[in-house]
Amino acid sequence: MACQALRAALLAFLVAITVPGAPSEASGSETEPDFIVTIRSNGVQENTQQVFSLRPSATLRVVDESAKAFFLPQSATADQDSAPGYNFAYVFENGRCNFERTVAYKDAFPGHSQPLWVRSASHENAGGIVPEDGIPVYTFTNPPAEHLNGG
């Protein structure tokens, strides 16, 4: 179930690439993300989809209260990078996410050297129970305008 939520998050990322100038629901604060998705401790419903349009340098945060979510697509080789699953996305083509094809972020955004997905942990939870190492929080930051749509 968490897989579906992260597919939605990755789909949101791919929509952001195709519509970099679209308005977002920015809070105006540099520390707050433009959008937040929360995966509750019991997971998400099947076939859940959320679509976001991120402007350049905007952010999407995924809070994983289940602590069981994982990113898709996964790297084909385990030794490619130390951070698993943070380097690839599904290809967005013909207005849809193609789950059969992937693209490396470094190829999608040549010249952009900052990580797009950053994993951190939160020690706050509205439900009360927080794992010892915190609740996983994944934040995607869209590249700046000069790195979108081929620069």
Q: Are 77 and 52 in contact (CB under 8 A)?
A: no
Residue 17 CA to its chain's centroid (Å)? 12
The upper half-sphere exposure of residue 85, i.e. CA atoms within 13 Å in the direction of its Cβ, equals: 12
113-144: per-residue pLDDT in tens?
Answer: 899 999 888 876 656 666 677 889 999 999 99
Q: What pTM value is reported for the model?
A: 0.68
What does the pLDDT look like over 15-66, one tens digit per residue?
Answer: 444 434 333 344 444 469 999 999 988 888 777 778 888 999 999 999 999 8
Distance CA 42, CA 90 (A): 26
pLDDT score of 85:
56
| Nearest one of 40, 35, 43 to 15, comparing CA atoms | 35
Cα distances from 45 to residues 3, 39, 40, 42, in angstroms, run 10, 10, 10, 9
- Helix, strand, or coil (residue 56): coil
Q: Long-range contact list for 23-27, CB < 8 A, 24+ apart?
A: 23/53, 23/55, 24/52, 24/53, 24/54, 24/55, 24/58, 26/55, 26/58
Mean pLDDT of 4-8: 48
